[in-house]
Every structure is written in C-alpha cells, then in structure tokens.
Chains A and B, each alone.
Chain A
C-alpha cells in the first residue's frame, strides 16, 4: 500500500506572475492554506483555496523535498493537477535573513510615520506579515 502510494504522483505547478517556477510530478504537496496547512495527494478532491504567506513543500518521487516560500496566492487542486498561483515565490534556500530583517525594520518605521491613515497602515501591515512569515521560513 505504502509503495503503491509512493509511485503514484500528482502534477505540481508553481506559477508566479513572471514565470513558471516549478512544474514536475510530486508524491505529495503541502500547501499553507488560509484555513490551515493541507496536504495534497494524488486524486485529491477538487479544491480552490487561498494561501497565506508560508512555505509550500513538494515531496518529489526521488525522496527529496523542495521548499518554496510563497507570499500568498491561490491553490487550484483537482485529481491530477495541483497548481499554485503565487504572488511572489522564492526558494527557501535563497532567502536571506539579514535582508528580511532590514526590510522588516524599514516597514516598522513606515508604519509609525503613517499613523492615522488606516488604509495605508493596513497595507504596510500586510507587507509586514509577509516579511515575518519569510523570516520564519528562513529560520
């Protein structure tokens, strides 16, 4: 049973607005859905879910795990295909802690400077949430 599962694969695609980042068969994909992480195995029921900032883990047939950070977007799953539409996607190995911390500091200051303007503050807070998730992923 376990062996049969290991051989069955689902086509996984990670598409960002600038290119198709990953397109290969996977044994399992773990997606950080807005309502909690969920795993996608072959023959998963059709599902459309939004994604919160986090790490998508792709379990390849070779046994390797490919981890990609996404800043949000959507997962479109049907039995044979799992496609993730990402707003921003970076390989976890390419994340740079120092740079993210610098960015976070900058956002913090910006947030202080726009006090009173709720729309702008909400906008900056959204960016901060992404940066924080990035930091957690890089750790």
Chain B
C-alpha cells in the first residue's frame, strides 16, 4: 500500500494531465472548425475543375499520344506512393492506420515484383515507414501542420511528382490519405493519381446543362496539357485538406477520451486515498485505546 503522500502526488499529477488533455481537445476543436471551413471552400473549385476536365476528355479522347499524366507511361513497373500523415502525434490511430495501409500496399506491390518508391507528407508517416522501408523513401514534405495550408503547398508536391514522371522515375502514382468522413471517422483512402482515371459517366451528368458544342482556345490538346498538372494539384490539395481536418478531428476525439479516462482515474485514486486515510486513523485510534487500556 502506497503512503498517503504518494497518493496525493499521483492525484495531483493526473489532475494536471487532465487539464492538458482538456486544453488540447479545445485547441483541436477550434483548429478543426477552421480546417473544415477550408475544405468546404475548396469544393466549388474542385467541382468546376472536374466539369471542365470531363468536357475536355470527352472532346479529345484518350490514346497513346495523350499527355503522360492522363495516359500513363504505358508500363506499371514502378509505383510511387504518396503517403499523407500528420507532423504531430497524439491523435489516436490517425497515422497508424495510414501507415498500416501503406505497409500492406508496399508488401503487395513487392510481392508482385514491382518496384516501389515512397513520397511522404508529414513527419509521423516518415518516421514509422523509415523502420522498414528507409531505402524506398525518396522525399519528405514536413512542417505544414503549424500554418494554414495553401494551394501553393499542393503545387509544390504536384510539381515534385510531375518532375519525377518527366524524368521517368515511376509509372503509377497512388495517394494514401485519411478521408474526412465525420468527426468520429476518418477513412484511410487509396486513390490513383497517375494515370488519372476520369469517371466518364459522372462528368457527363454534371456537364449536361450545356449540350452546346464548345470552342477551345488555343486547342483542346494544349488546354489539356496545362489543365492536367493543375488537376493533379487540385487532387492533392483536396487530399491534404481532408487529412488536415481528419487530423484535428482524430486529435479531438483522442483527447476527449484521454480527458474522460483521467477523470475516471482521479475518482479511483481518490477512493483509494480516502480508504487509506481512514485505515490510518483507525489504526491510530486502536493504538491509543489499547494504550489507555493497558494503563
């Protein structure tokens, strides 16, 4: 049985831990609101982009002469995985889920005899993947958790990827990120970026309001060549925003749990402390009484 002083110290320390987790939860909640707002603000742009792209692809059609971003290199030997995680921990299973999905994917691809390269966004993902696949990580983008995400960040990533494909360093690019479904659930999602898959049926529906024939200026092909890198940035930006919102949501939930657990622990410790205190008093009383009786 620990002494009364030890009990008191434990209770004080758990109480201050609870204060910290409660504060972190509050901070995460306000950051989440901002991140969610940003993700919503990005929506109109992404939708219009998909419309324009669908219309273009319908007009041009995809064949071997199409730009490499949409048609691929024609091979599937080297895969590039873009793994989006957070820079900071203490957000429950947020990073672990993505890393587990990434490990599975890498193993699967290696078993098929493919070559794999990994591009990390976020320090946590890199640290965890480094243990097994240090030689496969080509680059890490980090330090984005502090400030507000901007489109320029997504452009940085997409330019890095475009650069790589122009040097023919990979054939297929896939992004792994946490899709923000709700505050309670983030879905680890895998999405192929290159070659880009256009969902033909969906685009036709959204672009159906104008049956008219479009004029393209300068030409369909030239527009496509500039639109595709931009579209890549947009896709990456959306993944980054989703992941940022998901991170805050995961942290909020994790910290909420931690706060509740700390509360339970304090209750239990207080109960034990009181029991020990009573036992102590009883013991002292018995000592006094038996001393008096002896006299």
Q: Which residues of A contact B (CB under 8 A)?
A: 15-20, 33-35, 38, 45-50, 72-74, 76, 78, 83, 85, 87-88, 119-120, 123
Contacts and interface: CB of A to CB of B under 8 A. Distances in A.
Contacts of B286: none
Nearest to A75: B217
B234 A17 contact: yes
Contacts of A78: 210, 212
B230 A48 contact: no
A19 B41 contact: yes
Given A76-B52, A83-B48, A46 B212 contact: yes
Contact of B41 (A18, A38, A119): A18
A9 B220 CA distance: 28
Contact of B42 (A17, A48, A87): A17
Contact of A34 (B38, B42, B218): B218
B49 A85 contact: yes
A46 B226 CA distance: 20
Interface residues of B, number: 35
Contacts of B48: 15, 76, 83, 85
B230 A49 contact: no
B278 interface: no
Interface of B: 38, 41-42, 44-45, 48-49, 51-52, 55-56, 150-151, 154-155, 159, 163, 166-167, 210, 212-218, 222-223, 226-227, 230, 233-234, 237
A85 B52 contact: yes
- Greatest chain B CB density within 10 A among A20, A48, A73 is at A48
**Which 5 A-B pairs have CB atoms at the shortest separation, nearest pair first?**
A49-B217, A17-B151, A46-B212, A19-B41, A46-B214
A85 B46 CA distance: 10
B147 to A, nearest CB: 14
Contacts of B217: 33-35, 38, 47-50
A49 B52 CA distance: 10
B214 A50 contact: no
- Greatest chain B CB density within 10 A among A16, A45, A50, A78 is at A50
Given A20-B44, A35-B218, A46 B52 contact: no
Nearest to B59: A48
